[in-house]
Amino acid sequence: MRTGGIDSSQIQAMIAQLKAHATRPSLTPPVIQTEAPAVPKAQFSDALQKSLDAVNASQVKAADMGTKFALGDDSVSLSDTMIAMQKASINFQATIQVRNKLVSSYHEIMNMQV
């Protein structure tokens, strides 16, 4: 009997192969993972330090470009200098806002009734 181009004896042979493979002992037992792998936790202080370092780097870059432009260095254009200064200003303002939120959160926590 033929079903869809595959002989029923071929299907039976494939099933027999699968059963034989399933009953064959494997060399290594299957590993059942019961716990999630340990993921290193990100520390708040590390993240804060990285962001402060990035803000400082942008301010140093802007100041350096401003100095080079003021001294007449042709490798620095006015538009690049202004963009770097604006980026540094925005980074600094964002850092100030984060600091203000942290301080207000701290005050709220300290004023909570226990």
Q: Residues 60-86: pLDDT tens digits?
A: 999 999 999 999 999 999 999 999 999
DSSP character string of 76-111: S-HHHHHHHHHHHHHHHHHHHHHHHHHHHHHHHHHT
List C-alpha distances in Å: 79 to 71, 76, 85, 86: 16, 9, 10, 11
Query: What's the whole-model pTM score?
Result: 0.59
pLDDT at 25: 64
At 11-55, the pLDDT tens digits run 777 777 777 766 766 666 556 667 766 777 778 888 889 999 999
**The pLDDT of residue 105 is above 90:** yes
